[in-house]
Amino acid sequence: MKIRRFAALTSAATVTALLLAGCSAGGGNAPVSDDGEVSGTLTGVFASAFKETYEEIATKFEEKYPDVDVKFDYQGGDINALVMTQLQGNTAPDILTSFPGGVEGDSSDNVIPLASTERIMPLDVSWADQIPADWEKDFGYDGKVYAYPGAFQPLTSIYNQTKLDEFGLTVPTTLDEVLALCADAKENGVYAYGQGLGDAAGGGPQFLTYAQNATLVTGPHPEFDAGVATGDESYPGSAWVDQFEIYQQMFDEGCFGEGSLGRSRDQGATEVASGNALGIVDVGAVLASLATQGPDNEYVVAPMPATNDGDTLVAALPGFVTTINANAKNPTAAQAFLEFLGEPEISAIYADGFASVPVLPNDQYTPPASLESFAAAVAEGTTVPLGAVKLEVQVTLNEQLQAMFLGDSTPEDVAKSMQDAVGK
């Protein structure tokens, strides 16, 4: 699902990056280690934004396995496109940056399409049975585990707690309180949510929909997306329309401030960090951008209400996952590295580096204050996956939400357009 690629970013940048042509994977000449010894050169490709975290882990891996020389490559831009280019050209390294889930036949580097086409190898790891049952399908295929699951990020509300405190306001826990926050924000000369409604290419409009659909759709109807794929369910007449109606009401009541239809996700995050907006509904990775731009503020992640009953669920999503190239030059060291990633200490380092919560249960991880409520939701099982919406449907969703806000479409029209895109 394309939205998961957004979750892997450290800022609210879009994923429409240019293909990184000509980048060296560093894996073509790695010596083969097929004698069972964890030795030789281990190569990998990761996002440059997380270099510090990966390097810390690599250093500890070399301490444990001194006969291994780790040579990781770090790249910016669209890692998905880079990895696929490397795989197609047989220049991919041993360790790959991938994305969870996916659909067979998809041309992405998500786990399922890679595993189903035998481009990545199954893992021989001791932590495989620790993956929460509801998430096994995101990291495996045909009964086998293919990816280190990494860490969960929330897709929900992120508030500038410092600004809320300044105005004497609190985080809303019901839909009515959300609308009241919008009114209170305007009275104080700011606005409630810095959504990047003008950033259809970067998925800006969709984030509020997915956050509230955790409660409206995914929680009560976990098989809805599968039903859409089989024709047993449809977007028109479903709770998706209820969310679009909420969205329209929030837009009409000024929850997103002036100029929201010309605002990007990056700009929305900047508005929150500067205090012009009280919060944003986005993935947890935006926290890093907020902390950089507004380091004197405190931020808090909280559930995004869609009803008034107080039973709000939180959408959780893993970002990057780690897989092994099926044609790895050093499969022994690669398997040892994936096993190493699952150790509690290393898993905690990984989660901290991604401002996320470990997927694997971990008694050595302590969440920062901003993620305490989300970590509790993960532990309590009140998080839900996003599901597997087709890319074509997701593109239509973003474009049609913009049309709705412009007055050229209705909530029912948005749902119908999404249904029309299912068969494309």
How far is 186 from 206, CA to CA, in rounded Å? Answer: 23
What's the one-letter identity of residue 383?
Answer: T
How far is 252 from 209, CA to CA, in rounded Å? Answer: 16
Mind listing the pLDDT tens digit for each residue in 316-360? 988 899 999 999 999 999 999 999 999 999 999 999 998 899 999
Query: CATH topology of 3-150+319-354 equal to that of 153-317+385-422?
Result: yes
- pLDDT given at position 424: 65
Find residue 358's DSSP bridge partners: 151
How far is 169 from 146, CA to CA, in rounded Å? Answer: 45
- pLDDT given at position 302: 95
How far is 285 from 155, CA to CA, in rounded Å? Answer: 9
Domain 3-150+319-354 grouped into CATH 3.40.50.10470: no
State the DSSP H helix or E strand holding residue 248, giving kind and residue range, or none if neither: helix 239-252
- pLDDT given at position 381: 83
Report the C-alpha dihedral over residues 213, 219, 225, 227, rounded to 10 degrees. -130
Contact 76, 49 (CB under 8 A): yes
How far is 305 from 314, CA to CA, in rounded Å? Answer: 9
| pLDDT-above-70 percentage for the chain | 91
Q: Which of 215, 195, 211 is nearest to 402 (CA)?
A: 195
State the pLDDT confidence band at 35, using cuts at 50, 70 and 90: low
Provide the strand spans (E) within 112-199. Answer: 140-141, 144-145, 151-160, 191-193
Q: Which of 106, 96, 108, 103 is nearest to 138 (CA)?
A: 103
> Per-domain residue ranges for the chain?
3-150+319-354, 153-317+385-422
Mind listing the pLDDT tens digit for each residue in 83-97? 999 999 999 999 999
Residue 59 tokens read as: 């250093």
- Longest Cα–Cα distance in the chain: 70
Q: Higher-confidence residue: 284 or 260?
A: 260
CA angle 392, 394, 395 (to 5 degrees): 65
- pLDDT given at position 27: 35
pTM, two decimals, is 0.79
| Alpha-carbon distance values, 135 to 200, 252, 303, 420 (Å) | 28, 37, 20, 29
Q: Minimum mean pLDDT among 27-41, 46-60, 283-297: which range?
A: 27-41
In order, the DSSP letters of 160-185 are EHHHHHHHT-----SHHHHHHHHHHH
Report the C-alpha dihedral over residues 266, 270, 272, 273, rounded to 10 degrees. 130
Q: Which of 395, 255, 330 is nearest to 32 (CA)?
A: 330
How far is 187 from 125, CA to CA, in rounded Å? Answer: 56
> Directed axis angle between helix 411-422 and helix 391-405, to 10°?
160
The number of residues making up the chain comes to: 424
Mind listing the pLDDT tens digit for each residue in 88-141? 999 999 999 999 988 888 788 899 999 999 999 999 999 999 998 888 989 999
- pLDDT given at position 14: 29
Query: Quick check: 33 pLDDT over 50?
Result: no
How far is 119 from 369, CA to CA, in rounded Å? Answer: 40
Classify domain 153-317+385-422 at the CATH superfamily level.
Periplasmic binding protein-like II (3.40.190.10)
